[in-house]
Chains A and B, each alone.
Chain A
Amino acid sequence: MGKNLIQITQIQRIIVLYIVVACIWILFSDQFLQWFFSDIVLNSRLQTYKGWFFVMASGVYFYSYLEPKIKEIDILHGLIIESKEDVKKKNEFIETILDNLPIGLAVNYIDEGSASYMNKEFENIYGWPSEIITDIDSFFKHVYPDPVYRKQVQEGIMEDIGSGDIGRMQWDSLEIISKNGEKRIISAKNIPIYKQNLMISTVQDITRRKQAEDELKMSEKLFKSLFEQAAVGIAQVSPGGQFLKINSRFCEIIGYSENELLNLDFKTITHHDDIYLAEQCIKDVFSGITDKFEIEKRYIHKNGSIVWVKLYSRVVRDEFDSVKYAIAVIVDLTKRKQAELKIRQYNERFNMLHEIDKSIISSFSTEQIADNVLKRLRKLVSCPFARLMLLDSENNDMLVFAVESSYDSQIKKGTHLKLSQNLNIEKLERGESLLISDLREVKEPSSPLAKLLIKEGMRSALSVPLIVENKLIGVLNLASSEINFFSKECHEIVYEVATQLAIAVHQSELNTQIQQNSIELEERVKERTSQLENTNKELESFAYSVSHDLRAPLRAIDAYSQIVVEDYANKLDDEGIRLLNVVRENSQKMDQLIKDILSMSKVTRIELRYSTIDMESMVYSVYEEIATHDQKDTFDLSISSLPQCYGDSVLIKKVWSNLLSNALKYTMPKDERIIEVGNYSENGKNVYYVKDNGVGFNAKYAEKLFGIFQRLHRTDEFEGTGVGLAIVQQIIHRHGGEVWAEGKINKGSKFYFSMPER
């Protein structure tokens, strides 16, 4: 620009010089000419030449002086045009930049307060176009619609601006409402250029940042409260095992304060049995096999107790994949573990009681039960010595019935102890237990066995009485090498077991007694049986000799009578022969009686041979066998279809034979002779019957019918010995059935027998 201006002054100077020379020329050239040339004509001619000369001189002048200058001006002009475009481009460039700036920017005139420029972001942030926000008032009115807030903000801002202190001219976290009603948070800053009367306002939408910040704050707060108030213990642990950060729950579980823990490493507070496991897990993490692990382990509480925890650990790695730190989360399992232990103990208790019950039921010997129980009890209570003593009130002493110990105790099974040596027996008899928390403090050990226990290193002991029906039957003793070993719970268990054991021992003793009794009984039965067998044999031989010895003389009487009749008939009169025949008749009858008795005794003794019997065809064949021709012609026999039965066919045949022959015999006197054989089923038994319309019998003697030698008729009326029905009854009873009869004099009779259905 400077150069341009210089060129212009030079041109002015040339023109001024020209004007000056031209004026002098005009004023003095004519004069000058008249001096030299007075001739008017010549003068006038010369004047024309002078004019031409002036023009030429002017032309040369201007040409020689102006031409370079004009050239320069031309160049300058070109430059000027060029620079205008440049400015335009630059303006565009700047505007593009300004419009794309992430910061809103506006330029105002300080005096008027009117806006001269707004970039797009500025409009974006406020949402109002520059046509609407023309001055400060309209700006505030639109951007802060709430009058109270607007007033507060506007006054504050104006005061800050008015102070002229640039440091005050920035405002953070202002809440504006954009045109679409959206709430935004902005931060603004003003930069005044007083010389140019300009105020540059910048604005930034920090809504998101603000939200993110808030969220971060919230989450930090949340994390902190989570970390601090978590129900689980959380610790940040360095790769070297040092605690970096610990929450209060962690401290609470382990019992150390945060400061104490910060100076400890994990190994110091880990149960020595679990260090190896923890180290293995840490090794896996460092070698990159895994990023997390969970284990159940034990810490040692500051007070020395064991704390069971579930440990969840996860490591955080840096960008080089090496472990930055680990987060350990621990859950206190002590209660759970204790509960588990308790459940296990309960289970074991339950099992043991069950086992005792089982042994009672399976009636094991007392020794077996005692050994079994002591073994289990000792394991359950985990003490080294258990013993069962049983009371022998007859001999006034106690017997060491069973001993179970983890070491080779001198107290042996079978040792006797005088009751008087046990000073505490009265207490035990009352059902009270004895708990000695330290044996060595007992001044006078109550028994030699107690002394022995002390010698064997036992320090505390528990004795629980076994009581049955308010009587002391024994004592269960436990001993431990620890002082004060037997807890209340332990006591409970032992008490329970003792109660059960008392029942078991008592039961088992009863069982033994029962067994002994039954053995005795069996022996007695054997003795009686053999006596009976002997008697039976005697009876058999009696029957045998009856059959032989009694029948032989009869045979002789009969045979010799006959010889007399045959060989001496001519020497006897009719009466003599009749008398001899009476002798024969009676001997034959006696023989029949003997035969019947034998038959009866045979039925009683014979072994039954069971088979399925077709009753119907049996009845037919028996009838065929025993009925005479005449009877078959005159009798009306009806047999219904009879079910089969299961029995000894020989004997059942005898039954039918007896019943049918009776029916035939006692119906003979009648003109119309009817026999009916039938059956029905009753109470799981088949009932068969033989009914006739014969002479019948007096119902009040019905029961007597089946007795041996019982007859309701005289022999001259009906033949018979009175054994048939007795045999029938015997046979049916042996088959598990019943016999009975119904009848009326002259109205026939009905004989029943029942047989179990198979």
Chain B
Amino acid sequence: MEEDDEIEILLVEDNPYDAELALRAFKKNNIYNPIKVLDDGEEALDFIFCRGEYNERGMCKKIKVILLDLKLPKINGLEVLKAIKTDPVTKKIPVVMLTSSKEESDIVESYNLGANSYIVKPVDFNKFVEAVRDLGLYWLLLNQV
């Protein structure tokens, strides 16, 4: 599991199609950073905090951004966000929330818990790509320079 230590982008998304579309979007925008896709909240927390299955992983060495869906099995996105942002080590990692609606309460709650940004997952693929590109420019490409 050595490659796990190299992960720079963590995508937590239970819907495989959405995940695939996201990866395709990254690719289309020439983002080739190592990406890990996880499909439930519990596994995401294990990965981030090097627990359970991932206990041999070095503590989140290189993660540059976490893309976190709000609605996740087992532990939902907001809870995962809360755990990340209350830990002194992980709280500096940028977290972008992925949501399928502009449901105001979710967004407000996310920001309250320390989310750095959010993306409404549009069915319009072009718009989604645009959003990810913006994010890539700001959070990944910028950091690489």
Contact = CB atoms under 8 A, between A and B. Distances in A.
A576 B103 CA distance: 36
Contacts, number: 46
Contacts of B123: 551, 554-555, 558-559, 587-588, 591
B121 A555 contact: yes
B103 A552 contact: no
B71 A555 contact: no
Nearest to B24: A563
A588 to B, nearest CB: 7
A560 interface: yes
Contacts of A130: none
B17 A560 contact: yes
A481 interface: no
B100 interface: yes
A548 B128 CA distance: 16
B21 A559 contact: yes
Between A547, A548, A588, the greatest number of chain B beta carbons within 10 A of the residue's beta carbon is seen for: A548
Interface in A546-570: 547-548, 551-552, 554-556, 558-560, 562-563
Given A548-B71, A591-B123, A556 B18 contact: yes
A598 interface: yes
A547 B123 CA distance: 12
A740 interface: no
B101 interface: yes
A544 interface: yes
Contacts of B100: 547-548, 551-552, 555
Contact of B15 (A547, A552, A560): A552
B32 interface: no
Interface string A8-39: 00000000000000000000000000000000
B111 interface: no
Contacts of B18: 552, 555-556
* Chain A interface size, under 10 / 10 to 19 / 20 to 34 / 35 or more: 10 to 19
A556 B125 contact: no
B17 A556 contact: yes
A548 B21 contact: no
B122 A555 contact: yes
Contacts of A556: 15, 17-18, 21
A455 to B, nearest CB: 77
Nearest to A561: B125
Interface in B39-86: 71
B124 interface: yes
Given A548-B71, A552-B18, A563-B24, A558 B124 contact: yes
Interface of A is mostly: helix
A555 B71 CA distance: 16
Nearest to B70: A548
A548 B122 CA distance: 11
Interface string B1-45: 000000000000001011001001000000000000000000000
Interface string A518-555: 00000000000000000000000000100110011011
B105 to A, nearest CB: 9
Contacts of A587: 123
A559 B123 CA distance: 7
Nearest to B106: A544
Nearest to B16: A556
Interface in B87-125: 100-101, 103, 121-125
A562 B125 contact: yes
B40 to A, nearest CB: 15
Q: Please classify how large the interface on chain B is, using the bins under 10, 10 to 19, 20 to 34, 35 or more.
A: 10 to 19
Contacts of B125: 558-559, 562-563
Contacts of B124: 558, 588
A514 B121 CA distance: 57
A588 B127 CA distance: 14
B83 to A, nearest CB: 22
Nearest to A566: B125
Contacts of A562: 125
Interface centre among B15, B24, B123 (most CB of A within 10 A): B123
A371 B128 CA distance: 80
B53 to A, nearest CB: 26
Contacts of B103: 544, 547, 598
Q: Which of A558, A559, A562, A563 has the most CB of B within 10 A?
A: A559
Interface in A582-606: 587-588, 591, 598
B98 to A, nearest CB: 11
Most A Cβ at <10 Å: residue of B21, B100, B124? B100
B39 to A, nearest CB: 13
Contacts of A588: 123-124
Interface in A79-125: none
Nearest to A544: B103
A559 B101 contact: no
A576 B15 CA distance: 27
A556 B121 CA distance: 11
A199 B68 CA distance: 167
A544 B125 CA distance: 22
Interface string B117-145: 00001111100100000000000000000
Contacts of A552: 15, 17-18, 100, 121
A551 B128 CA distance: 14
Contacts of B101: 544, 547-548, 551, 598
A587 B124 CA distance: 10
Interface string A705-725: 000000000000000000000
A555 B25 CA distance: 14
Contacts of B24: 563
A547 B100 CA distance: 7
B13 to A, nearest CB: 10
A548 B71 CA distance: 8
Nearest to A606: B104
Nearest to A554: B123
Contacts of A555: 17-18, 21, 100, 121-123
Contacts of B15: 552, 556
Contacts of B71: 548
A563 to B, nearest CB: 7
B84 to A, nearest CB: 22
A184 B101 CA distance: 138
B21 to A, nearest CB: 5
A725 B77 CA distance: 36
Contacts of A547: 100-101, 103
A587 B17 CA distance: 16
Nearest to B123: A555
A229 to B, nearest CB: 104
A130 to B, nearest CB: 145
Nearest to B17: A556
A142 B15 CA distance: 162
A598 B99 CA distance: 15
The 3 closest A-B pairs by CB, nearest first: A555-B123, A556-B17, A547-B101
Interface of B: 15, 17-18, 21, 24, 71, 100-101, 103, 121-125, 128
Given A555-B121, A563-B125, 5 more contacts: A548-B71, A555-B17, A556-B15, A558-B125, A588-B124
25 contacts: A544-B101, A544-B103, A547-B103, A548-B100, A548-B101, A551-B101, A552-B100, A554-B123, A555-B18, A555-B100, A555-B121, A555-B123, A556-B15, A556-B17, A556-B18, A556-B21, A558-B123, A558-B124, A558-B125, A559-B17, A559-B21, A559-B125, A562-B125, A563-B24, A598-B101
